[in-house]
Amino acid sequence: MTHLCVAIFVDDVAMAQNQIAQAAAAGADMVELRIDRVLDTNIITPLVHTSLLPCILTCRPKWEGGHCELSDDERLRLLDAAATGNTHYVDVELESTRHHFGPLPAWRPLIFSSHDFVGRPNLLYNIVVELEQSSCNVAKIVWTARTIRDNLEAFELLQNRSKPMIALCMGEAGLISRILAKKFGAFLTFASLESGTGTAPGQISIADMKKIYRWDKLGAETRVYGVVGSPIMHSMSPAIHNAGFDTVGHDGVYLPLLVEPGYESFKAFMETFLNFDGLHLSGLSVTIPHKENCLRYLQEKGAEIEPLARAIGTVNTIVIDPLATGNSKLATLRGFNTDYAAILDAVTIKLGIRREDLAGYRVAVIGAGGTGRTAVAALAHYGATTIVYNRTLERAEELAAEFNGHSGKVVAAPLAKLCDSCCQIYINTTSVGMHPNVNESPLGDQLPRWSSDTLVFDTIYNPMRTRLLQQAEEAGAKTVSGVEMFVRQAVGQFEAWTGKPAPAEVFRQVIESRLRPRD
């Protein structure tokens, strides 16, 4: 069993008792009491005696990332006096045990710990051997992840442990080691009581651990999915897909995967994560800045790639099919772009038409960036007449030239001419109107001739009801929000990975509950 341990800085008894009660109510099965700021047995002893949960007692010195300035001997004496009642473990720094020549007091079981707040210790494996050969009951090694690949080393240490072990990476890139600790059989992982109140960088709240990352459902065979990007912590995809796994009963967990920009970083991530036995990496969403890198990587690997994704030049979904042998090194990869299908579905379902029917429509695509390109490629493929309106006309012209004649006609026009346009469908793919600039519209105040036959689709999902959509509603036009696209691209991914119908309504509820209401 891997314990879920809430770390608490003790400042006074009442507050700490309250926090222990909150941790118990939130589902923690252990607390770590960090006493390095109190140093007073009159506070610590009653707290330990009344604790609702088993405690780890830790008095971390300044030189190991804590607050305590006492000498080693003084700290050990304090721990000795305080470690009574409900204390189940005492944590002592490995470094202190090297300097302390006398026998350690006859405590409860011991955790010997080693932390590196800067990066990976050069002598990582020497430290682990020292921990494993020491008299401690639990070996704890924690370091700051330099890249996401450091997590794999933590998993490897857990796989090869000879005694109970805690192996964690700190920082944003190390987040997955905190969640997957359970999959790899760690002694415990730490969580904070609330977001942003952790005792170490990268700790996530117990509520997120339980509700978003499915802590209670994680096991050795749990399949791993995630979204690759940088930055990535803002992504709503983990909340959406994990809620989906819960709904359909799929044994999976979906994680934010921070991979630095650049093809080499993406490739190194793919090669190491795909080849890591026991990880069960089964599917990836790919977002900014890696969608083009993803296509290149899959091309180099000779993977199966959806033809339209090739034409668009980006892949946002990888399906990883392990061979029957179970050897992940021989997994086959397939690449898709679920964004284009999401754009097409958002439009055609609202209009009650088939994709092929788009051949009879004139569509204005506003914007010529990544999303504009995806929309233009998809519309041109299904024969729509498409006019690309963009602030930078040359960009619109290049895009039009690339896709004109694929099936439908594509032309370019300056954004300023949009109010003179006469199309049945308008798709905004610019970022104009996105939070926090919620009063802006790519049209300004001059609207084209819109009627109840016009459909206006804004790909922006935050806010859900943009200024552009308000203008469209006021003109009597039909509207579609970017939430629809977000839901549909996630549906495409979920179904490709699980082979089960995606709970689209659950996805919609998760997204809507997370988006801030319009000011």
The one segment of 118-126, 215-223, 294-302, 459-467 that binds ligand NAP by CB under 6 A? 459-467
Does position 430 bind ligand NAP by CB under 6 A?
yes
Distance of CA 495 to the CA centre of its chain: 19
492 binding ligand NAP? (CB under 6 A): no
Spatial neighbors of 496 by CB under 8 A, at least 6 apart, are 283, 317, 319, 334, 336, 338
> From start to end of 302-409, where are the E strands?
304-305, 317-321, 332-336, 362-366, 385-390
| Distance, C-alpha 238 to centroid of its chain | 5
Going by the DSSP 8-state scheme, the letter that residue 87 receives in this structure is E
The gap between the terminal CA atoms of the chain, to the nearest Å, is 46
Please identify which residue in 96, 144, 265, 371 interacts with ligand NAP, judged by CB under 6 A. Answer: 371
At 360 the three-state DSSP class reads helix
Distances (CA, A) of 373 to 340, 378, 385: 9, 9, 15
435 binds ligand NAP (CB under 6 A): no
Query: DSSP code of 288?
Result: T
Size of residue set near ligand NAP by CB under 6 A: 24
Distance, CA of 135 to CA of 110 (rounded, Å) = 8
Please, which residue, 285 or 371, has the CB nearer to ligand NAP? 371
Q: What whole-number distance in Å separates Cα of residue 271 and Cα of residue 376?
A: 33
* Structure-derived torsion over alpha carbons of residues 294, 296, 298, 303, reported in degrees to the nearest 10: 150
The CA distance from 130 to 153, in Å, is: 17
Neighbour-count burial for 178-189, b at 16+ CB within 10 Å, e otherwise: bbbbbbbbbbbb
- Provide the β-strand partners of residue 118: none
CB of 473 to ligand NAP, least distance (A): 19
Q: Does 460 bind ligand NAP (CB under 6 A)?
A: yes
- Ramachandran angles phi, psi of 498, nearest 5°: -100, -20
Torsions phi, psi for 219 (to 5 deg): -150, 180
Does 461 bind ligand NAP (CB under 6 A)? Our answer is yes
Closest approach of ligand NAP to the CB of residue 357, in Å? 23
In terms of CB distance, is 368 or 510 closer to ligand NAP?
A: 368
Rg, the chain, Cα only: 27
432 part of the interface to ligand NAP, by CB under 6 A: yes
Which residues are registered as beta bridge partners of 142? 115, 168
**Residue number, nearest CB to ligand NAP:** 369
- Binding residue (CB under 6 A) for ligand NAP from 86, 87, 230, 390: 390
Amino acid at 495: E
Residue from 485, 491, 502, 511 in contact with ligand NAP (CB under 6 A): 485
Instruction: Tell the smallest beta-carbon distance from residue 319 to ligand NAP (Å).
Output: 19
Query: How many beta carbons lie within 10 A of that of residue 28, not counting itself?
Result: 26
Q: How far is the CB of 289 from ligand NAP (least distance, A)?
A: 10
CA atoms of 25 and 6, how far apart (whole Å): 11
Binding mask 338-367 for ligand NAP (x = CB under 6 A): -----------------------------x
Contact call for residue 446 and ligand NAP (CB under 6 A): no
Our CB check for ligand NAP shows the closer of 191 and 312 to be: 312
Please give the structure tokens belonging to residue 167: 């192996």
**23 scored as a contact of ligand NAP (CB under 6 A):** no
Closest contact distance (angstroms) between CB of 96 and ligand NAP is 51
370 binds ligand NAP (CB under 6 A): yes
CA distances to 178, 227, 284 from 241, in Å: 19, 10, 11
Task: Compare residues 320 and 412 and give the one whose CB is closer to ligand NAP.
Answer: 412
Q: Which stretch binds ligand NAP (CB under 6 A): 23-31, 400-408, 484-492, 503-511?
A: 484-492
Sole binder of ligand NAP in the list 424, 431, 470, 509 (CB under 6 A): 431
Q: How many CA atoms lie within 13 A of 332 on its CB side?
A: 8
Query: According to the binding rule CB under 6 A, does residue 174 interact with ligand NAP?
Result: no
User: In the bound complex, what is the minimum distance in angstroms from residue 478's beta carbon to ligand NAP?
Assistant: 17
Nearest approach, Cβ of residue 466 and ligand NAP (Å): 9
Instruction: Identify which of residues 24 and 515 has a Cβ nearer to ligand NAP in the complex.
Output: 515
Name the residue nearer to ligand NAP (CB basis): 96 or 338: 338
- State the catalytic residues: 115, 140, 291, 339
Query: Site for ligand NAP (CB under 6 A): which residue of 138, 434, 477, 491?
Result: 434
Q: How many CB atoms lie within 10 A of CB 69?
A: 12
CB of 260 to ligand NAP, least distance (A): 19
| Region of 94-102, 165-173, 352-360, 458-466 interacting with ligand NAP (CB under 6 A) | 458-466
Asked whether position 177 contacts ligand NAP by CB under 6 A, the answer is no
Comparing CB distances to ligand NAP, the nearer of 40 and 495 is: 495
Residues 112 to 141: which contact ligand NAP by CB under 6 A? none
Which spans of this chain sit near ligand NAP (rule: CB under 6 A)? 367-372, 390-392, 395, 415, 429-432, 434, 442, 459-461, 482, 485-486, 489
